[in-house]
Amino acid sequence: MGGMTTLTWYGGNILSPAFAATLYAMGGLLFVMIIDIVTFIVAIVTVIISHIPQPIKESTETEQSLALKGQLLFGFRYLWERPPLRAFIFVACLWTLFHDAAMNAPMILARTDNNEAVLAAVSAASGIGGVIAALLVSTWDGSKRHMLTYGWGMVSAGIGKVFVGMGQDVVSWSLAQGYTSANFPFLGSARQAIVMSKVEPSAQGRFFATFTIIVGLVSLLTRLSAGLLGDYLFELAMSVDGWLSPYLGWFFGTGAGAGLSVQFVLLGLGMTGVRVLALTWKSVRNIETDLPDYEINSDSQ
């Protein structure tokens, strides 16, 4: 399921640059916005008319006793009562913090004098890498040790981010970004496998909603602060007279985009470092053995 989800995401990355340019040329920005609204309505209607099977509720006592407030807080309480799962989500959020602070588009545009064609090519390469990996994940039985797959995915994606930051042209950016994106289907499927094996089906919807809220808030705050950090720290530090340019200017250059490249590399190293934390934190490292899988009641099968 994780592979199919990422397949649809990265498939859009391949086609969207070409479609966007064509639609913009045909009718301008207003035409693009109208198409966006229409496709959104089609997607919502499709979800409404589709039959989505509901899991068999293994225990109705808790469901009946929870009021609306309890339902809203259920995911947070469920997470808090299970320390290994709580630690696992914390590591996922920390990794998301480093990942989302690495600003791909601003860095590439700054280094290419706002060349949208280069950015579109890198985005397409990202989509190709993601689609290929998603197809592999969809046909792969997977490792029995999902935490191992998840951990190596964090390391590999971080290394890819480092090479994106070190890139100097469209070829190096495209190759590095394609490699980086190829890790996310493995990451996502492993994370889903771990969570879905530990959380009973009747609680999965609220748990994933809670997880999305937590990660979404981390991502939002990170993106808001990353731009300020890039503009007022790293870009100034890597300017011609900046305090970092004498040490790193020989490789990254100076001027527009150089500071964002340095920021990108450091954040990629941070993504890799999160794996070290996961290895040293017993609750995360042994989550598949320390936290038992949910049990299916025999009378509900």
- Weakest mean pLDDT among 28-37, 69-78, 154-163: 69-78
Q: What is the pLDDT of residues 97-145, one digit of tens each?
A: 999 888 888 899 999 988 888 888 888 888 888 888 888 887 776 567 7
217, pLDDT greater than 80: yes
pLDDT at 300: 40
Q: Is 196 exposed, middle or buried (0-12, 13-18, 19+ CB in 10 A)?
A: middle
Task: Decide which of 169 and 27 is more confident.
Answer: 169
Q: What is the pLDDT of residues 221-276, one digit of tens each?
A: 998 888 888 889 999 999 888 899 899 999 998 888 899 999 999 999 999 998 88
Q: Kindly indicate the confidence band of residue 3, based on its pLDDT and cuts at 50, 70 and 90.
A: low
Q: Kindly indicate the confidence band of residue 55, based on its pLDDT and cuts at 50, 70 and 90.
A: low
Q: What is the chain's mean pLDDT, rounded?
A: 82
Q: How many CB atoms neighbour CB 77 within 10 A?
A: 13
What the block records as the tokens of 91 is 């590591």
- Which of 250, 283, 239, 233 is CA-nearest to residue 101? 233
Q: Which residues of 97-121 are buried (b: 16+ CB within 10 A; e: fewer)?
A: bbbbbbbbebbbbbbbeeeeebbbb
pLDDT at 298: 38
Q: What is the pLDDT of residues 158-174, one digit of tens each?
A: 999 999 999 989 999 99
24, pLDDT greater than 80: no
21, pLDDT greater than 70: no
Q: Cα torsion at 62, 65, 71, 77 (round to 10°)? A: -60
Distance (Å, whole) CA 213 – CA 207: 10
